[in-house]
Amino acid sequence: MTKSDSRQVAWRLFLTVHALAYRKIDDGLVAQSCVSFDDYDVLLTVHEADGQTLRMSELAEAVLLSNSGMSRRVARLVERQLLHREQCPQDGRVFKVRLSDTGVTALNTAWNTYGRLIGDVFADHLSETEGTMLGGIFQRILDQIGTEKHRNLLSAGVTDAPQRVQS
Amino acid sequence: MTKSDSRQVAWRLFLTVHALAYRKIDDGLVAQSCVSFDDYDVLLTVHEADGQTLRMSELAEAVLLSNSGMSRRVARLVERQLLHREQCPQDGRVFKVRLSDTGVTALNTAWNTYGRLIGDVFADHLSETEGTMLGGIFQRILDQIGTEKHRNLLSAGVTDAPQRVQS
DNA sequence: ACCATTTATTTGCGCTTGCAACTATTTATA
DNA sequence: TATAAATAGTTGCAAGCGCAAATAAATGGT
């Protein structure tokens, strides 16, 4: 494999597309839904979870954030009344997180915006066939470089909702 | 387009692959070359530029960082003796940045590491044909969502070197 | 029952970032 | 040529992050 083959070019473009798409989506969400991309990710992940609840560490792992980072992120969202954090009765060490009613409303609003933005920056520029192909390739890569958890979280989470972020 | 079509799935996988690949490359570079992914990006961009020199604002734009962020990043690299920052004689407002000899050495080391890492997390999992196809798709997206500058910077920059980052 | 160990989460600290304000230098205008 | 406006870059500030240490709660061995 030479250093300048098509795969290297694809890699560079991959990075650039990600950087630009991320910015546009984040800006769009903040402007139209008052929720950042990262916060949206948290809200959606919690809401998609079994029983619409997750413990802190599960949430951190799912969105690929450190535990301490998630601790503070959740604190901010609780502050903004979008999330509840309740201590687990069976095990006083664990805290479970759940969307508040306001949080559900905010998520729905952001959900719409997000769906539109994904189309704008990504999905609308692909055919169905290309989408399938891309998905196959990315899944293959993920099988190689991801942990068991990432793979499971992803395949479990495919729903009708716009999808989870991960930084 | 339904919300759960293949393009949405591809988008989610795109984000996850990026997040994991970014981490692995950054970790690998720091461990094996003492240069972060972001610093590598700066060094390579400067070195690839016309005359191996760029002004601060050009550099900031090329790697998609704010001017203030770049100001401090360059300050750190100058501190580490990897970069020189010299005031332009024709226009006292502009500062031009160039790699030091140490910087060139560091870049070469990191360049090798980076090439290996790209293979590990991305390129080796693609066929040549798939690489070409991915590149085509990403380029098409970039033509829609990128500015003129991003498009030019990219197409100009395809060389034998491992490629530029962009957050 | 008691104390050491392990586990879940939060805090202290230092680092990096972006925005807005600031400084320095050049260009345009009268 | 004096002065206003524009431009390039750097700082003050507040925010978010990760690591490592601290806290709090559960578990295991005796």
pLDDT at B156: 43
Q: How far apart are CA B63 and CA B41, in angstroms?
A: 7
Task: Label residue A158 by pLDDT band (50, 70, 90).
Answer: very low
Q: Please answer yes or no on whether A13 and B126 come within 8 Å at the CB atom.
A: no
Full pLDDT tens readout for chain B, 167 residues = 454 689 999 999 999 999 999 999 999 999 999 999 999 999 999 999 999 999 999 999 999 999 999 999 999 999 999 999 999 999 999 999 999 999 999 999 999 999 999 999 999 999 999 999 999 999 999 999 877 666 554 544 444 455 545 43
Number of CB atoms found within 10 A of residue B89's CB: 8
Residues 6+ apart with CB under 8 A from A90: none
Q: Which residue of A has its CA nearest to B139?
A: A13
pLDDT at A149: 62
Q: Give the minimum alpha-carbon distance from B55 to chain A in angstroms, rounded to a whole number.
A: 21
Q: Please answer yes or no on whether A13 and B138 come within 8 Å at the CB atom.
A: yes
Does B74 contact strand D, using a CB cutoff of 7 Å? yes
Question: Which residues in chain B are contacts of A16 at CB distance < 8 A?
Answer: 138, 142, 146, 150, 154, 166
Report the half-sphere exposure of A10 (CA within 13 A, side-chain side): 27
Both tokens of B38, joined, read 């972001």
- Chain B 93-112 residues whose Cβ is under 7 Å from strand D: 93-96
pLDDT at B97: 98
Q: How far apart are CA B147 and CA A49, in angstroms?
A: 38
**Whether residue A55 has pLDDT greater than 80:** yes
- Chain A 119-158 residues whose Cβ is under 7 Å from strand D: none
pLDDT at A146: 78
Lowest mean pLDDT among A133-137, A147-151, B20-24, B142-146: A147-151
Q: Give the minimum alpha-carbon distance from B76 to chain A in angstroms, rounded to a whole number.
A: 23
Identify the residue whose tokens are 């085509």.
B136
Footprint of strand C on the protein (CB under 7 A): A 55-58, 67-68, 70-72, 74-75, 85, 91, 93-96; B 38, 65-69, 72-73, 76, 91-93
Tell me the C-alpha to C-alpha distance, in Å, between residue B153 and each of A46, B99, B149. 40, 19, 6
Identify the residue whose tokens are 């020189």.
B84
pLDDT at B167: 39
Task: Label residue A5 by pLDDT band (50, 70, 90).
Answer: confident
Q: How far apart are CA B115 and CA B9, in angstroms?
A: 28
Partner-chain residue, chosen from B7, B125, B145, that has the shortest CB–CB distance to A24: B145
Q: Å from A26 (CA) to C8 (C1')?
A: 31
Q: How far apart are CA A86 and CA A24, in angstroms?
A: 34
Question: Which residues in chain B are contacts of A137 at CB distance < 8 A?
Answer: 125-126, 130, 134
**Whether residue A18 has pLDDT greater than 50:** yes
pLDDT at B146: 79
pLDDT at A148: 65
Q: Which residue of B has its CA nearest to A153?
A: B16
